[in-house]
Amino acid sequence: MACVGIALGSNMGNKLAHLRTAREFLEQLQPRNAKLLYAPLFQSCPVDCPDDSPDFYNTAVEIIYEGTPEQLLAKTQEIERQLGRLPKTKFNEPRPIDVDILYYDDLVIHTEALELPHPRMAQRRFVLEPLSEICPHRILPNETLTILDLLECLDSSEPPLRQLQTTW
């Protein structure tokens, strides 16, 4: 069994409902009696998105998963499809849901389909801040600092996040 961090984001439609549904799908992927950890819900400005993109709701979850990283990737992509995410037409365009695998235990994977740990997570406040709420002392593969330390050292022009809800 693997401990897996996943980022969730939404900036289209009923953002809260999309995130709740994605969390429920992810919870069902766990073994019986496994507890899903989830961070508070944050609002963030779009990063590297088209100019007219709406704000995001972001959070992070940590699950226990028994399959392979590739199987989990297929499951996360299916969650995105079920929640109305269409194939991309523009880079970082608005979307009802984004389900990104951030880490999978201590695995390092570099394939065309999957890169773990997520290659830009250490540069994104909207990923690090929610993740620091559920696993602040985790040290990711290829890093020497904890998630909390990465957040505290972050050099980003990203505006501060606004915490919306601790339970959702």
- Looking at residue 48, what is its pLDDT? 79
77, containing H or E segment: helix 69-82
- Looking at residue 89, what is its pLDDT? 63
Task: Give the pLDDT confidence of 39-51 residue by residue, as tens digits.
Answer: 999 999 888 777 8
- Looking at residue 141, what is its pLDDT? 92
- Looking at residue 90, what is its pLDDT? 67
pTM for the full model?
0.94
Distances (CA, A) of 158 to 16, 27, 81, 146, 150: 22, 30, 28, 20, 14
Which parts of the chain have pLDDT scores under 70? 88-92
Partners of residue 109 on adjacent β-strands: 116
- Looking at residue 47, what is its pLDDT? 84
Q: ∠ at Cα 60 (18, 42), nearest 5°?
A: 70
- Looking at residue 78, what is its pLDDT? 97
